Structure formats: structure tokens, C-alpha cells
Amino acid sequence: MIFKNLQIYRLRSDYHLSKADLTAWLEQGQFTRCPPDRPASCGWTPPREHGDLVHAVNGHWLLAFATEQRLLPAETINRTVRELADRAAADPALAHYCRCVGGKPVMLLRPAIAPSALMAAWLTKGEGGPGFTIDRDCELRAADEKQAVRYTNQPLTDAAIADEIRAHLATGQMPARLSLTWNDRISFTLTDSLEIRRLFFIYLSEEMSGFTGSTVEEKLDFDFSLMAHELAQFLPALVKALGGEGV
């Protein structure tokens, strides 16, 4: 069980909840199979079969959110889409979490430096910040988003391509995504909305080969512990590169 994509959120500083309290809250929104009279169902489910809704490993908590949708006639789908069109396009798991615990204790992380500005600065310089290296994929977009320039598997820091990218930046185009590597341990793609995509833990495959357990549950704990340890170092480094958290 390894994450492939991340969206970073921040808990309010005054928000404190024990594992037992959070489990009790989440039980109010536990997943049940989709009934015949509903088009979809969602809710919390134990990360480990027959386990707790909040699974703790070495101080890190893991939650699992499940969804189920019925196959519906086209007319029903179109009507449902129209009904949902005016609703906020929020993360369904986050929205469900807030409904369960009451209020909105979780918010998107707001860095002091916009991700697009940081990526533009690194591309202009031709190198990443401390601990970060520029990889081989990039997308630049005009302000009106009608034009885009994409580089795929290209040496972005080579002189000719770097000069070409700088020329695009000079016209006002800004990075929408950029592939990076952190400390030769994690490769990922950073987007202008602070999504982390195509997350790959470079050394974990080797470390995970050392697993000596015998059950699926033990393997999940082993993988999650290694991944959480890496992310606990990587995410603060990324936030620091982004100038810390904004006010």
C-alpha cells in the first residue's frame, strides 16, 4: 500500500482529537453498501480488514474512504450531474470528514510562495532549491490557459532547452506542473495547485524487499511505516522550499 498522489491539508492549530474520539466521530459516517434507492454511497472503512476505522502505526494515522456507485440509465446520470453542478467541487473524503466531526478543522495548506512561482524561479535558475533537482517533465501555460507548452522526458536543465523555457516564461507563461526529485529518495510531479502526483519512493522497493512478515495486515503496516517516515521528512522540506505556510 503506497500512495501515488497527495493533496496536502492542514489541521487547525487549536484542533486536538484522540484516536478514540476520532474513531467515534467516523463511526457516524461509516461506509455501507449502496441501497437500491440511491445512486451512490460513501463512508469510512477500516484500512485493515476487521480493524479500527483509525489505524495507527508508529504515531501516524491511516484512514480509508470507500465509495460505491450504481450503474444508472443515462437520463438518471444526466439529472444527477445537473443537481450536483452548483455544489462546491470539494474533495468528497474531506467533505465527509468535516460532516462527521462537525465544523471544518481541516483546510488546504496555503504556502507563502505560490507553487507556480517557485517552479518558475527554479526553471529560470536552471536548478532546484536545496535538496530538490529538476527532472524531465514540465508544462507551461499562458494566463488565459488557452496555450500550453509541454516537455516530456526532456533534459530540462540542458542549456538549449533551459533557454527555450526561459523564453516562454518571459512571455508570461507559468509552470502548471514540474517533475522533481527530493534528495534522490522521492520523485514526484508538483502542480500549480500544490498537488503531488506520480509519487515514487525510489529506495522503498529495496527496503520493502526486506519484509519478513506473513500476513497482508503485517505487510500493510510495514509499507505504511516506511512511507510515512519518508513523507514526514519530505513534506516539511517541500513546505520550507515554498517559503513556509502563509498567514
Output the 3-class SS for the chain: CCCCCEECEEECCCCCCCHHHHHHHHHHHECCCCCCCCCEEEEEECCCCCCCCCEEECCEEECEEEEEECCCCHHHHHHHHHHHCCCCCCCHHHHHHHHHHCCCCEEECCECCCHHHHHHHHHHHCCCCCCEEEEEEEEEECCCCCCEEEECCCCCCCHHHHHHHHHHHHCCCEEEEEEEEECCCEEEEEECCCEEEEEEECCHHHHHCCCCCCCHHHHHHHHHHHHHHHHHHHHHHHHHHCCCECC
Q: Please provide the average confidence, as pLDDT, over all residues in the chain.
A: 86
Strand partners, 186: 182, 201
Q: What is the mean pLDDT of residues 134-157?
A: 93
Report d(CA 84, CA 106) in Å as an integer: 23
**Residue 110 belongs to some domain of the structure:** no
C-beta separation of 192 from 176 below 8 A = yes
Confidence of residue 73 (pLDDT cuts 50, 70, 90): low
User: What pLDDT digit, counting tens, does each position of 107-135 carry?
Assistant: 889 999 999 999 999 999 999 999 999 99
Domain boundary among 104, 130, 151: 104
* Domain match, 62 and 124 both: no
Report d(CA 129, CA 119) in Å as an integer: 10
Task: Read off the pTM.
Answer: 0.84
Confidence of residue 88 (pLDDT cuts 50, 70, 90): very low
* Domains identified in the chain, total number: 2
Higher-confidence residue of 219 and 113: namely 113
Domain limits at 124?
115-241
Cell numbers found for residue 185: 529518495
Burial of 39: CB neighbours in 10 Å, binned 0-12, 13-18, 19+: middle
* Domain match, 203 and 225 both: yes
Domain boundary among 43, 76, 104: 104
Write down the pLDDT at residue 74.
Answer: 58
User: What pLDDT digit, counting tens, does each position of 177-218 carry?
Assistant: 999 999 999 999 999 999 999 999 988 776 766 777 778 888
**Residue 2 belongs to some domain of the structure:** no
**Residue 10 belongs to some domain of the structure:** no
Strand partners, 70: none
First to last CA, the chain: 35
Write down the pLDDT at residue 147.
Answer: 86
Given strand 174-182, what is the order of strands in its sheet?
Answer: 6-7, 195-201, 186-191, 174-182, 132-141, 148-151
* Domain match, 237 and 143 both: yes
* Domain match, 122 and 159 both: yes
**Residue 48 belongs to some domain of the structure:** yes
* Domain match, 192 and 141 both: yes
* Domain match, 173 and 194 both: yes
Domain boundary among 84, 104, 124: 104
* Domain match, 230 and 140 both: yes
